Amino acid sequence: MSGSTIKYHVTPGGKLTGQIRVTGDKSISHRSIMLGSLADGTTIVEGFLEGEDNLATLNAFRMLGVDIKGPDNGRVEIHGVGIDGLQAPADVIDLGNSGTSMRLLTGLFSAQSFDTTLTGDKSLVTRPMRRVTEPLTKMGASFTTSESGTPPIQIQGKQRLCGIDYDMPVASAQVKSSLLLAGLYADGQTCVTEPAPTRDHTERMLKGFGYQVQVSGNKVCLLGGGRLKATNIDVPGDISSATFFIVGACIAKDSDLTIKHVGINPTRVGVINILRLMGADITIDNEIDVGGEPVADIHVKYAKLHGINIPEDQVPLAIDEFPAIFVAAAYADGKTVLTGAKELRVKESDRIQAMADGLTILGITAEATEDGIIIEGGSIGSGTVDSHGDHRIAMSFAMAGLCADNEIEILDCENVNTSFPGFAELSNQVGLNLTVKDT
Q: Which residues are catalytic?
A: 320
* Range 364-373 contact pairs with CB under 8 angstroms and sequence separation of 24 or more: 364/330, 366/326, 366/330, 369/339, 370/342, 371/339, 371/340, 371/341, 371/342, 372/310, 372/337, 372/338, 372/339, 372/340, 372/341, 373/326, 373/337, 373/338, 373/341
Cis link prior to 316 (omega < 30° from 0)? no
Strand partners for 333: 306
Q: Are 189 and 221 in contact (CB under 8 A)?
A: yes
- Amino acid at residue number 20: I
CA distances from 106 to 118, 135, 225 (A): 8, 11, 19
From first CA to last CA, the distance across the chain in angstroms is 10
Residue 123's contacts (CB-CB under 8 Å, 6 or more residues apart) are 97, 348, 349, 389
Across the strands, what pairs with 6? 438
Distance between CA 61 and CA 75 in Å, rounded? Answer: 16
Query: What does the angle CA 77 – CA 320 – CA 143 come to, to the nearest 5 degrees?
Result: 70
Burial of 216 (0-12, 13-18, 19+ CB in 10 A): exposed
- The residue among 197, 172, 54 whose CA lies nearest residue 107 is 172
